[in-house]
Chain A
Amino acid sequence: MAIIDVKDVYKTYTENAVPVHAVNGVSFSVEKGEFIAIVGPSGCGKTTMLNMIGGLDAATKGKIIIEGEDISTLSPAQLVDFRLHNIGFVFQAYNLIPVLTVKENIKFIMELQHKHKKEAEDRVKYLLEILGMKDKIDVRPKYLSGGQQQRVAVARALASKPKFVLADEPTANLDSKSTETLLDLMAKMNKDEEMTFIFSTHDQRVMDRAHRIITLEDGKVIDDSRKMRG
């Protein structure tokens, strides 16, 4: 069964009485464990699409069904809860909480979920180990480089083992070393924990690692192709 089903979704913004069709009849479904890159020219609707899947924005028309549930039927409070327990978000800017240390930032979601403390701490150590940032565990974000901050942001999104991760141009501001480390981690989570990933990106390095590439143009899917695994 598909974990995400996007069914003929439209999103129309009205800017100064002029309708902008940001997403214009998009359909696709996502299976558990997929590693998807959504690509396309600027303004084609990538961010809008991800926001709608993440319940941050509502579709004008069409349905987004996640694990059998139409998310348009959820109240704002239920949506927050839904995001907390199902989705890991990675934003283009790092967006860490500045007053919390690396460890506290990564634990943040697990604490909102009331995860067991020991389990959370182990998870933090495990992820930082992979990211090569164990020595930064008690450091605050402002003492980290951009690349390091984004690694922590990704660790925060992955730590609670969400059903899927939505990442809007996560590597846009990163050097190739950081990009590689991040992609390695995500690929590992995808493989080890069958975590599902959906990216939007302009970055060739990300596209190279994706198993499936959905190409949008003017709010429509113009191509949807799976690579041969292996």
Chain B
Amino acid sequence: MKQYLKLAWRNIWRNKKRTLITLASIFLAVLLAISMRSMQKGTYANMIGNAVRFSTGYIQVHAKGYWDKPSINNSFESDDILDSLLVNNHNISLAVPRLENFVLASSGDHTKGVQIVGIDPNKENELNNISGKITIGEYFTADDNGILIGDGIADYLELSVGDTIILLGQGYQGMTAAGKFPISGIFHFPDDRMNNLLAYLTLNTAQELFAAYGRYTSMSIMLNHPNKLNQTRHNLQLALNNEDWEVMKWQTMNKTLTQEIAGDNAGGIIMLFILYVVIAFGVFGTILMMTMERRKEFAVMVAIGMKRFQLVLLLVFETIFIGLLGVLSGIILALPVLIYFNVNPVRITGAAAQTFEQFGIEPIMPASLDPNIFLYQGIIVLLISFVASLYPMIYIGRFKILDSLKQ
């Protein structure tokens, strides 16, 4: 074994220039592939992280049927089993309860449809830093019975902090819901659709307004390790009674974002494929030349007693050396760059930034340091090198000793 390694190592350096060019091509491709994947994955993680903060969380628990028919009648009652699951699951970092319902809001002659979100002020703020989005007035204090409205609603109803807004709608099980609420604050989110639609009450106030005492429409869950999302969702679903509960992941609830990421990701994979083809041809050319120019040497070796499979093994080691050197140098050089961009993400500016902000996403592209990226790229490039050396290996298995000796 040691002999093969020694021979293989020395063989790859017989033509230094050619080997270096091959290594450089693998190195560049790996560097590009890893950087691209890292930026993509990092950006997706940022998009997802932001998106789920402003909407559903990574996982959301509802009463069965709520997602298809989001009515307050499909709300659920505070539940001991659910509460203990949320506390005891190590992957759950935050569970945010909400009670949502649609009402008519009016002031003077103006009336407007508004989506009321009853929130736990502390947890909601921890989730999406809503207090930082208040432009006039104050965020909720404990047991606040005021209301927070979007600046779009404020403009339309010509209201400001300190004014009173009248809400009218239907509560739990058809009860009439009506109330007057002082405006505590006006918020502005990046997405104007939210500013025109949303108003926040504290959970208690909302439950009272809708006569939905102790009830919620959703429980949004944030995770310590988003990559274990499926497992956590599965565990929750298993522990909860299937008849009464639905446990959904963000991918199911936010189809737009899921599709957007899938589309972008597909583009990335096509790029990767092109890079891989380039690597494959580079390695193939080099290994083929390394084989063909040693035909006579191989013939001598087989003549004096080296078995063909031993020669194939030698070629495998040579291929692995070239592949591994290229991959490792690519990773080693990519790593510090990516660590830098992980800590100091690229900031997006201009029109692209506005699109990001519309979706409530911070316009940055952080690099991901997910070890899987490095591992997969490494393994794939090694596999490609191996495939590229298949033909030379077949050649070694078949060449005619005497013909090659004569050269």
CB nearest to B8 among chain A residues: A99
Q: How far is the CB of B300 from chain A (nearest CB, A)?
A: 4
Measured between beta carbons, the chain B residues less than 8 angstroms from A85 are 305
Measured between beta carbons, the chain B residues less than 8 angstroms from A111 are 3
Q: Are B300 and A81 in contact (CB under 8 A)?
A: no
Select A97's contact among B301, B308, B402, beta carbons within 8 Å. Answer: B301
For A80, A89, A112, the residue with the greatest tally of chain B CB atoms inside 10 Å of its CB is A80
Measured between beta carbons, the chain A residues less than 8 angstroms from B306 are 80, 84, 112
- Knowing A56-B402, A98-B14 are in contact, say whether A77-B307 is a contact too (CB < 8 A): yes
What interface size band does chain A fall in?
Answer: 20 to 34
Q: Give residues 70-123 of A contacting B (CB, 8 Å).
A: 77, 80-81, 83-85, 88-89, 91, 95, 97-100, 108-109, 111-113
Select B304's contact among A51, A99, A156, beta carbons within 8 Å. Answer: A156
The answer to the question of B265 belonging to the interface, with a C-beta cut-off of 8 Å to chain A, is no
Select A84's contact among B3, B305, B402, beta carbons within 8 Å. Answer: B305
Select B303's contact among A77, A83, A100, beta carbons within 8 Å. Answer: A83
Measured between beta carbons, the chain A residues less than 8 angstroms from B405 are 56, 91
**A95 CA / B294 CA spacing, docked (Å):** 11
Q: How far is the CB of A26 from chain B (nearest CB, A)?
A: 18
Measured between beta carbons, the chain A residues less than 8 angstroms from B304 are 83-84, 88-89, 108-109, 156-157
Q: Are A97 and B307 in contact (CB under 8 A)?
A: no
The answer to the question of A67 belonging to the interface, with a C-beta cut-off of 8 Å to chain B, is no
CB nearest to A160 among chain B residues: B305
Select A95's contact among B3, B296, B310, beta carbons within 8 Å. Answer: B296
The answer to the question of B401 belonging to the interface, with a C-beta cut-off of 8 Å to chain A, is yes
Q: Are A56 and B7 in contact (CB under 8 A)?
A: no
A-B contact count (CB 8 A): 54
Chain B contact surface mostly:
helix
**A108 CA / B311 CA spacing, docked (Å):** 13
Select A80's contact among B3, B11, B305, B402, beta carbons within 8 Å. Answer: B305
- Knowing A56-B401, A56-B402 are in contact, say whether A81-B305 is a contact too (CB < 8 A): yes
Measured between beta carbons, the chain A residues less than 8 angstroms from B297 are 95, 97-98
The answer to the question of B10 belonging to the interface, with a C-beta cut-off of 8 Å to chain A, is yes
Q: Give residues 240-275 of B contacting A (CB, 8 Å).
A: none
**A97 CA / B296 CA spacing, docked (Å):** 10
**A99 CA / B307 CA spacing, docked (Å):** 19
CB nearest to A54 among chain B residues: B303
Q: Give residues 271-298 of B contacting A (CB, 8 Å).
A: 296-297
CB nearest to B406 among chain A residues: A47
**A88 CA / B310 CA spacing, docked (Å):** 19
5 contacts between A and B (CB under 8 A): A56-B401, A80-B308, A97-B297, A99-B11, A113-B305
- List 13 extra interface pairs beyond A97-B7, A111-B3, CB under 8 A: A56-B303, A56-B402, A57-B402, A77-B307, A80-B305, A80-B307, A81-B305, A84-B304, A95-B297, A97-B297, A100-B7, A100-B10, A112-B310
Across the A-B interface, the 7 shortest Cβ-Cβ residue pairs: A84-B305, A99-B10, A95-B300, A83-B305, A80-B307, A89-B304, A112-B305
